[in-house]
Structure 1
Amino acid sequence: MKMEQDGMSQSKPDNMALYRRLLTYLRSYWRVFLASLVFMAVSAATEPAFVNLMKPLIDEGFISKNPEALRYIPPLIVLLFLVRGISSYGNEYSTSWLTGHLVQRIRQEVFNKLLSMPASYFDNNQSGRLMSRVTYDVSQVTDAGFNVLTVSVKDGCTVLGLLGMLLYYDWRMTLISFVVFPAVGVCISLISKRLRNLTRLNQHQMGQLTQVLGESIDCQRVVKVYGGQSYEAARFTEAVQDIRRNAVKQSAASAMNTSATQFIISVALAGLVHFALLRGQHNQLTAGTFVALITGMSAMFAPIKRITNISQSLQRGLAAAESVFLFLDQPSEPDSGTRTLEKVRGDLSFEQVGFRYLNAEKAAIDRFDLQIRAGETIALVGSSGSGKTTLVSLLPRFYLPTSGRITLDGIDLNELRLADLRRHIAMVSQDVVLFNDTVAANIAYGAFGEATREQIVEAARQANALEFIETLPGGFDCHIGENGTLLSGGQRQRLAIARALLKNAPILILDEATSALDNQSERLVQSALEHLMQDRTTIVIAHRLSTIENADRIVVMHQGGIEEVGSHAELIKNQGLYAKLHEMQFHEPGAAVAVAGKSIDQSDV
């Protein structure tokens, strides 16, 4: 099965390195962490203390019938369980508090890292796996952190305390129990590697499940129209079956480890009973000591079982920590620029720009040269795959040119800080992205949430959106659903334009902003775009050639390069590629033409 691409080529950190890195998150909470360790130790000490009461209880209470035993043993039992209750509560509370802070902090770091990743990372990785890492992997890290730590410290102290007590009473017999530990260690080491591999596979399977689920929700209309319910159900069934099989394999491995450990302990216990009976027959062992030894050995069953069972939690947590830290160590979006521009004129220059996608057979942009004056409107037209969208993606540095350079007001884009560069760019695309929030919040997103109500209303008015907004229940405070599902395509587009208007950036990118609209919606949106384009350097990717006839210059692209440049009238007069495209779109719908050896279909325009 193919695993996710990110981090797989990096070297895997060892377990101690993972733990050291996890513990660095506790530095700010060391007092609470220390308190939790104290609570663990106190709670663990009550177990051997209780077992230690068995000897006087039997020897003095039942054998010697000492009345003093009636006065101090029952209160001691109550006191021990009171101390255990208080320390257990303190341990659970402090551990839960620390776990919550650890998960919150790591999850926030992962999300912040996700926001800083380059566009190419999202191109090459499943969105389901990315979401699974934030939601699933981070929560699993706690198994490597505090759940394992709690069991190791608390149950480890309990086992050591019981062993110390048993050695005190009869060291010869207690040595029998020492055969348990090396044998248990062998069992754990044999199972751990398999559990780690199964856990890594489970992380990938959870990502697959999230991917299928997310796509089925996002594309639910397509699924219904094309009758894809059975296909999606089969995909989901396969994903959940993989997870089920993996879970069974993990449980089987863990159960095998537990069963083997219990068998080894039972052999040690049987040997202890055998030698205790022999010594008892020779009056070398009192009844109280025998009961204390047997009770102490039996009391070690539960903590040793929990210690052996943490192997599954440990491997699950370490695999999750490995995944999370490998992601956090991925290189972020390059931002080596140091310069800032408080004010931008909007002069753009593409100088021998080339770009090739990773593993692509040919360049998407090839030796592209173009000078754009401040305030000029440039339209990009051409067949599908000619490089129009790729070219405008280079402006906000979603991708970096593989050759040549792009300048803004004479300054190389790579010299500018990313945040400062993007502050001067607004974008409206065919696929409008809106948030599951109010109308006002979506418009104000263009001003980073700092716009006044009056500014929001004015932006909506200029975008021709005010009329329909006022008809919505709640008006500007109406929640529009996920990605604006409660609005029409034209209404979503006008909200995107209002957002761009409010940002008031000097450079504007319009990526086929009206291609999917009906005629009435297109007229409203086109009118709004005219407001938006005033006094801005605008690059328009055109689908309908009628919308860009008034552009200052039209750039016809083919295979990543420039085929011809000019105004609408000039290009029509030249009878080149643009004239043929224009004729095909307006006079011969559905036809295909060949220009200079290039076959072009109307659907590609």
Structure 2
Amino acid sequence: MKDLAYLNKFFYKYRWRLIPGVIFVVISNIFGVLPAKVIQIAFDLVTENISTYRLFNGFDRQELVYEIFGYSLLLFGLTVLALALLRGIFLFFMRQTIILMSRHIEYDLKNEIYQHYQELSMSFFRRNNTGDLMNRVTEDVSRVRMYVGPAIMYTINTVVLFLLVIIAMISVNLKLAIYSLLPLPILALTIYYVHNIINQRSEKIQERLSKLSGFVQETFSGIRVIKAYVRENDIKEKFAAESNSYKKDSLALVQVQATFFPAMLLLVGLSTIVTVYIGGIEVMNGTITSGNIAEFIVYVNQLTFPVTSLGWVTSLVQRAAASQKRINEFLHTRPEISYSSNTRFELKGQVEFKNVSFVYPDTGIKALDNVSFEVKPGEFLAIIGRTGSGKSTLANLLMRMYDSDSGEIKIDGQTITELNLNHFRSQVGFVPQEVFLFSDTIANNIAFGESSKTELDKIEQAAKDAAVYNNIAEFDEGFDTMIGERGITLSGGQKQRVSIARALIKNPRLLIFDDCLSAIDTKTEEEILSNLGKNLDGKTSIIIAHRVSTIKNADKIVVLDKGQIVEQGTHKSLLKANGIYKDMYEKQLLEEQELPE
């Protein structure tokens, strides 16, 4: 239960729903127990009236006794119905308070988890697959809701009903009450033994479900690759294997439950037999009436559902505990990237790297080694290098997706760790190497860079600056064209240009292009760079590229190799240096000359 203790703050928040719910539980059970007493009185009345009826056999008064007897039974029957109706009303109120409370808690918990996900660092998402993240915010939260709603409700109902029934039993006959309740200790020991097994198997089921969800999500994301390599059957077999593992674990839990519930019913049935036997002896001894036996049987049967539901409630609680434990693992994960400053500032665009080194924590790969350079406001900096030289790592560190292991990064003279991160990022236009577009209209994808209420004229201008306006205009729906998942309906170059438009629309003070012109032809690339020159006059731009033609007009070029800066300068000065840059330039010129016309 220590994992479920996290939910206590929600119980306190919705205490004015929980407290009335508990009151309604008590009242409904009072009306549930009272019919047993009415039945006892009615049963004894029947016994007495039958004797009286026979006593007046042959007399006119016999008819009068019969009529009184009939009206009495009718009155008792109507009383039982009235009590059942009142109980039903308060049961309705009970569900309207406690079950509704559980829905509110489910809503709050989902929002809390989702908000926490957004605060976590990039390294967290590298370590955990999407299917597992989704499963914890959906399936796990749903199981927790079953604890804060039905499990809590039935637990309170069972405890209150047990207390009322036991008090009523003892008030009638202590000896009969003790014998009737003898199977309950056995029941308690059985529950104690079984609940540990249920807990272990519930945790295993949730782990299997997360793996299954992750597998399915990854399969659907990579469906084009699967079809291209004709691997449908292999994937089908892997899915069947994962699904079969989940089925085995689920069946193992069901087997425990299948044994548990009949055992509960057996113990309740045993209580009924003991009640009738011991009750009969007590009637013969004259300590109770036959009506009391009927009353006790009603009490025992009233305990049937609570007792049999104990197994179900135990399962709900244990599965919720397993799910909440998984949720707590992520909720207790602290973001590696944090900031305390609330000060707003206007970004001028000065960027400085001083002896920056970085090693990816998950792989141990050293991406940057003692890197130092400076970009003044309004300058155009280009970063070039071979694959794996650390170019994208520079962009990620500058956007503070990660923190460097050593050295420092300064923005306008301030250390980046001291800045209000959200305010800093809001003034930066970042186009990542891996383009991501949402399953929405093209207009909304571009407007995402600024606001969902951005005017169409501004969206169109951003598309023109990114040289994608004409392509969009050719679509039947224009800017209202729906983009498939991850932009699947667009070509690689179109996706990159829509992503560039998304960055340009916010009119950033600092623009970072992370090799996002790779799928664009040379002519379109020149048009984009020309537009950038007009729109970013006086603003800082950093472009990471692998084509020399993209960056030859840069104010400064930084050449990376194996995480180190091996050269820096202008295009002309680097060509004169006869180093790596010149070698890359000549190879690219040769490749362009060899391309067929």
TM-score under structure 1 normalisation?
A: 0.90
Q: Which residue of 1 aligns with 2:294?
A: 291
Letter in 2 for 1:544: R
What is the alpha-carbon distance in structure 2 between the residues aligned to residue 525 and residue 204 of structure 1?
48
**Range with bigger deviation, 145-154 or 176-185:** 176-185
What is the alpha-carbon distance in structure 2 between the residues aligned to residue 550 and residue 579 of structure 1?
15
1:484-543 deviation digits (Å, cap 9, x = unpaired): 223222222222122111111111111111213455655555555555554332222212
CA RMSD of aligned residues (A): 2.3
Q: Which residue of 1 aligns with 2:37?
A: 52
Which residue among 187, 191, 194 is the counterpart of 1:191? Answer: 194
Deviation at 1:133, TM superposition (A): 0.7
**Range with bigger deviation, 488-497 or 414-423:** 488-497
What is the alpha-carbon distance in structure 1 between the residues aligned to residue 336 and residue 506 of structure 2?
23
Which residue among 502, 505, 517 is the counterpart of 1:502? Answer: 505
What is the alpha-carbon distance in structure 2 between the residues aligned to residue 317 and residue 151 of structure 1?
15
Q: Is the 8 A contact 2:337 2:403 kept in 1?
A: no
What is the alpha-carbon distance in structure 2 between the residues aligned to residue 557 and residue 432 of structure 1?
23
Correspondences of 1:34-53 after superposition (within 5 Å): 34-53=19-38
Deviation at 1:463, TM superposition (A): 2.2
Which residue among 95, 113, 116 is the counterpart of 1:113? Answer: 116
What is the alpha-carbon distance in structure 1 between the residues aligned to residue 537 and residue 225 of structure 2?
38
Q: Is the 8 A contact 2:140 2:324 kept in 1?
A: yes
**Structure 1 runs of 4+ with >6 Å offset:** none
Q: Is the 8 A contact 2:349 2:411 kept in 1?
A: yes
Deviation at 1:158, TM superposition (A): 1.9
Correspondences of 1:438-457 after superposition (within 5 Å): 438-457=441-460
Letter in 1 for 2:18: F
Deviation at 1:134, TM superposition (A): 0.8
Letter in 2 for 1:352: N
Correspondences of 1:41-440 after superposition (within 5 Å): 41-65=26-50, 67=69, 69-338=72-341, 340=343, 342-440=345-443
Count of aligned positions: 576
Q: Which residue of 2 aligns with 1:31?
A: 16
Please state if 1:587 is matched with 2:572.
Answer: no
Deviation at 1:245, TM superposition (A): 1.4
What is the alpha-carbon distance in structure 2 between the residues aligned to residue 480 and residue 383 of structure 1?
32
Q: Is the 8 A contact 1:351 1:404 kept in 2?
A: yes
Q: Note closer, same or farther for the CA distance 1:80–1:350 as it changes in structure 2 (3 Å cut).
A: same
What is the alpha-carbon distance in structure 1 between the residues aligned to residue 38 and residue 463 of structure 2?
79
Deviation at 1:329, TM superposition (A): 1.8
- State the secondary structure of the residue aligned to 1:272: helix
1:94-131 deviation digits (Å, cap 9, x = unpaired): 23321111100000000000000001111111111111
Letter in 2 for 1:321: Q
Letter in 1 for 2:36: V
Letter in 2 for 1:300: L
- State the secondary structure of the residue aligned to 1:222: helix
Letter in 2 for 1:557: L
Q: Note closer, same or farther for the CA distance 1:264–1:96 as it changes in structure 2 (3 Å cut).
A: closer
Deviation at 1:151, TM superposition (A): 0.7
What is the alpha-carbon distance in structure 2 between the residues aligned to residue 402 and residue 141 of structure 1?
39
Deviation at 1:284, TM superposition (A): 4.2
What is the alpha-carbon distance in structure 2 between the residues aligned to residue 525 and residue 493 of structure 1?
11
- State the secondary structure of the residue aligned to 2:366: coil
- State the secondary structure of the residue aligned to 1:446: coil
Deviation at 1:76, TM superposition (A): 0.4
Letter in 2 for 1:574: A
Deviation at 1:92, TM superposition (A): 2.1
What is the alpha-carbon distance in structure 2 between the residues aligned to residue 486 and residue 528 of structure 1?
26
Deviation at 1:71, TM superposition (A): 4.3
Q: Note closer, same or farther for the CA distance 1:40–1:531 as it changes in structure 2 (3 Å cut).
A: farther
What is the alpha-carbon distance in structure 2 between the residues aligned to residue 105 and residue 380 of structure 1?
45
Correspondences of 1:558-573 after superposition (within 5 Å): 558-573=561-576
Letter in 1 for 2:350: D
Letter in 1 for 2:204: L
Letter in 1 for 2:33: P
1:454-499 deviation digits (Å, cap 9, x = unpaired): 3223222322233233333443333323222232222222221221
What is the alpha-carbon distance in structure 2 between the residues aligned to residue 244 and residue 411 of structure 1?
56
Deviation at 1:253, TM superposition (A): 1.9
Letter in 1 for 2:264: T
Q: Is the 8 A contact 2:496 2:519 kept in 1?
A: no
Deviation at 1:315, TM superposition (A): 0.4
What is the alpha-carbon distance in structure 2 between the residues aligned to residue 140 and residue 531 of structure 1?
56
Q: Is the 8 A contact 1:129 1:208 kept in 2?
A: yes
What is the alpha-carbon distance in structure 2 between the residues aligned to residue 314 and residue 433 of structure 1?
40
Deviation at 1:274, TM superposition (A): 2.3
What is the alpha-carbon distance in structure 1 between the residues aligned to residue 421 and residue 570 of structure 2?
33
Letter in 2 for 1:312: S
- State the secondary structure of the residue aligned to 1:516: coil
- State the secondary structure of the residue aligned to 2:339: coil
Letter in 1 for 2:10: Y
What is the alpha-carbon distance in structure 2 between the residues aligned to residue 201 and residue 430 of structure 1?
38
Letter in 1 for 2:29: A
Q: Is the 8 A contact 2:348 2:412 kept in 1?
A: yes
Please state if 1:21 is matched with 2:24.
Answer: no
What is the alpha-carbon distance in structure 1 between the residues aligned to residue 5 and residue 283 of structure 2?
50
What is the alpha-carbon distance in structure 1 between the residues aligned to residue 257 and residue 414 of structure 2?
61
Q: Note closer, same or farther for the CA distance 1:518–1:239 as it changes in structure 2 (3 Å cut).
A: farther
Deviation at 1:590, TM superposition (A): 14
Q: Is the 8 A contact 1:45 1:157 kept in 2?
A: no
Deviation at 1:278, TM superposition (A): 2.5
Q: Is the 8 A contact 1:381 1:555 kept in 2?
A: yes
What is the alpha-carbon distance in structure 2 between the residues aligned to residue 482 and residue 534 of structure 1?
35
- State the secondary structure of the residue aligned to 1:480: coil
Q: Note closer, same or farther for the CA distance 1:57–1:158 as it changes in structure 2 (3 Å cut).
A: same
Larger Rg, first or second structure (1 or 2): 2
- State the secondary structure of the residue aligned to 1:163: helix
- State the secondary structure of the residue aligned to 2:360: coil
- State the secondary structure of the residue aligned to 1:64: helix
Deviation at 1:550, TM superposition (A): 1.7
1:205-231 deviation digits (Å, cap 9, x = unpaired): 222111111112111111100112122
What is the alpha-carbon distance in structure 2 between the residues aligned to residue 457 and residue 206 of structure 1?
45
What is the alpha-carbon distance in structure 1 between the residues aligned to residue 293 and residue 195 of structure 2?
36
What is the alpha-carbon distance in structure 1 between the residues aligned to residue 492 and residue 529 of structure 2?
14
Q: Is the 8 A contact 1:443 1:495 kept in 2?
A: yes
Letter in 1 for 2:387: S
1:50-106 deviation digits (Å, cap 9, x = unpaired): 222221222113542462522420210220121122112222222332111110000
Deviation at 1:375, TM superposition (A): 1.8
- State the secondary structure of the residue aligned to 2:14: helix
